[in-house]
Structure formats: structure tokens, C-alpha cells
């Protein structure tokens, strides 16, 4: 049986770990720091087979050199167009199928540029590892790509099977929900979600994974085609909104300055 663990790292990152206790093998996603990964693997007596990298940022790759020293045969699957300083030994491209050796799991790669230009995600019929592109009730900042690229990438994720468990790389949910409610105050599911998230955070619990089904209901960045949302965004920015894409671009700027 495959299990999933969110390993907290750095300030508010999660390093997701997929593992099979019966064969004692594991893969992890975006190891920004090696120490908490090694600690978890030792605790569970697991051997690290490989790593998935969604994009080049240091809080997603900083643990690689140490992990590769501990496991010299480590498979590091990541974007083809990342800077060469990130030691990816198995570069992948859009729509490529990959197999997580030792766990007998297949994943598919999608290109989702916006937060960075090299950003990719990995999904199978259970999990979506979306790095810093989609957060619960939010989305990633635009460091390298354009708002149009990010909008298209989020649409690409939103079209995946709705039951997928959305494994985001940061615990940003509580602040994202507060911002979402300022745009979408009458959304009953969002109001209920805030109560649940606040309770989880008071107990220092992880609010993830989410699901795409939930995100479609509560995440304003996936709801830019909603006329009520567009009206609020138009009102708050004093702009005339002519498309969902334009609403997204304005909403992203509002969040940047929130």
C-alpha cells in the first residue's frame, strides 16, 4: 500500500513523500531541505529511490546536494529547462509519462508555466503535485511568467479529474481563505472551509491535500468566470472586465498588494 506524508520544512513548505512501508521505499517531491526528509526516512526505515522537482526555486531544490550524497543513485526527475545548477538527472517534458521506480507508480507530467517558466506538475489517478502553481484557495505569484500563462496553466489543472488530491508545496491556506472571502464573501462553502481551516491551524495540523472539486468551489483564482466575482473585482479595481482571463490578471495583482 502506498502512503503519503507531508513533511514540514523551512518556513512553511511541505515536502510530500510517497512511500510503501512493505518494501521500505520512498520518493519525495521538492526537497527544499534534506534534514527533515532524512529524519522521516530514518524514522520509517525507508530507502529514498528518487525525487520529483516541480521548479527550480531553492525552497524546492535546496536539499538535493545532501540527498544525492546520501543516495548516490538517486533519480532526480524535473523540468528540462531548469538552470543547470539544479542537479536534475532525468529531465522530462510536457505530457511525458514517468514511472516511480520501486513504488510501481506511473505519473504524467504537465507543463504549467507562470510562477516560473520551467514549472511542471505530476499527476496520476490519485495525486496532483502542483508545486507553487495552485494553492488551496490561492495560486502562485508570477515571478517569471505572465498572467495569461498562469491562467492557462490553472485551467489545465482545473480540467483534471476532480477527485485528485491536490498536494501544494506551502501551508498558505488560512491567509488565502481570508483573501478569498474578501472577494467572494457570500460563498457558503468558502465560509465553512474557513471554520475548518482555522480549527486545523489552531491545532497545528496540515490543511492539505485539498481536492480539485473543493478548489473549484472555493478558490477565486479558479472562479474568474463567475459573474459575481467579476463584479467584485471590477468594483475594487475600477476596471471594466471583459474576460475571465482579465479578471484573473487583476485578481492576481490585488493579491500581490493585499
Residues serving a catalytic function are 55, 57, 59-60, 115, 132, 170
* Cβ atoms of 183 and 229 closer than 8 Å: yes
Positions 35 through 64 that interact with Zn ion (CB under 5 A): 57
If the CB atoms of residues 55 and 223 are measured against Zn ion, the closer one turns out to be 55
Q: SS in 3 state form for 104-167?
A: CEEEEEEECCCCCCCCEEEECCCEEEEECCEECCEECCCCCCCHHHHHHHHHHHHCCCCCCEEE
The count of other CB atoms within 10 Å of the CB of residue 228 is: 13
> In the complex, what is the shortest distance from the CB of residue 252 to Zn ion, in angstroms, rounded to a whole number?
15
Alpha helix ranges (H) inside the chain: 35-44, 58-61, 64-70, 147-158, 173-183, 188-202, 212-218, 227-237, 244-256
If the CB atoms of residues 7 and 181 are measured against Zn ion, the closer one turns out to be 7
Distance CA 120, CA 78 (A): 8
Number of residues near Zn ion (by CB under 5 A) = 2
Q: Is 15 left (phi over 0), alpha (psi -120 to 50) or beta?
A: beta
Distance CA 152, CA 257 (A): 22
Distance CA 167, CA 64 (A): 20
> In the complex, what is the shortest distance from the CB of residue 185 to Zn ion, in angstroms, rounded to a whole number?
29
If the CB atoms of residues 57 and 223 are measured against Zn ion, the closer one turns out to be 57
If the CB atoms of residues 136 and 230 are measured against Zn ion, the closer one turns out to be 136
> In the complex, what is the shortest distance from the CB of residue 254 to Zn ion, in angstroms, rounded to a whole number?
20
Q: Is 119 an interacting residue with respect to Zn ion (CB under 5 A)?
A: no
The count of other CB atoms within 10 Å of the CB of residue 72 is: 6
> In the complex, what is the shortest distance from the CB of residue 166 to Zn ion, in angstroms, rounded to a whole number?
16
Interface map 65-104 toward Zn ion (x if CB under 5 A)? ----------------------------------------
Interface map 125-164 toward Zn ion (x if CB under 5 A)? -------x--------------------------------
> In the complex, what is the shortest distance from the CB of residue 56 to Zn ion, in angstroms, rounded to a whole number?
8
Query: How many angstroms separate the first and last alpha carbons of the chain?
Result: 43
If the CB atoms of residues 118 and 132 are measured against Zn ion, the closer one turns out to be 132
Residues near Zn ion, by CB under 5 A: 57, 132
Amino acid at each position: 500500500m502506498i502512503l503519503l506524508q507531508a513533511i514540514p520544512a523551512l518556513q512553511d513548505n511541505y515536502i510530500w513523500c510517497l512511500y510503501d512501508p512493505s518494501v521500505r521505499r520512498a520518493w519525495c517531491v521538492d526537497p527544499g531541505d534534506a534534514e527533515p526528509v532524512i529524519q522521516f526516512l530514518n524514522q520509517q526505515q525507508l530507502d529514498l529511490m528518487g525525487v520529483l522537482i516541480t521548479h527550480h526555486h531553492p525552497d524546492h531544490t535546496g536539499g538535493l546536494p545532501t540527498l544525492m550524497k546520501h543516495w548516490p543513485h538517486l533519480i532526480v526527475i524535473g523540468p528540462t529547462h531548469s538552470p543547470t545548477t539544479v542537479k536534475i538527472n532525468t529531465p522530462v517534458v510536457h505530457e511525458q509519462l514517468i514511472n516511480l521506480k520501486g513504488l510501481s507508480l506511473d505519473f504524467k507530467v504537465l507543463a504549467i508555466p507562470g510562477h516560473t517558466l520551467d514549472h511542471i506538475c505530476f499527476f496520476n489517478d490519485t495525486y496532483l503535485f502542483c508545486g507553487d502553481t495552485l494553492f488551496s484557495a490561492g495560486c502562485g505569484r508570477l515571478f517569471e511568467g505572465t498572467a495569461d500563462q498562469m491562467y492557462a496553466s490553472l485551467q489545465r489543472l482545473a480540467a483534471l479529474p476532480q477527485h485528485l488530491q491536490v498536494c501544494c508545496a506551502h501551508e498558505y491556506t488560512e491567509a488565502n481563505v481570508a483573501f478569498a472571502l474578501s472577494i467572494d464573501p457570500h460563498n457558503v462553502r468558502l465560509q465553512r472551509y474557513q471554520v475548518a481551516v482555522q480549527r486545523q491551524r489552531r491545532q497545528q495540523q496540515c490543511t492539505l491535500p485539498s481536492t480539485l472539486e473543493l478548489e473549484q468551489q472555493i478558490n477565486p483564482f479558479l472562479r474568474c468566470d463567475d459573474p459575481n466575482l467579476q463584479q467584485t473585482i471590477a468594483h475594487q479595481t475600477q476596471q471594466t472586465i471583459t474576460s475571465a482571463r482579465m479578471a484573473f490578471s487583476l485578481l492576481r495583482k490585488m493579491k500581490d498588494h493585499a
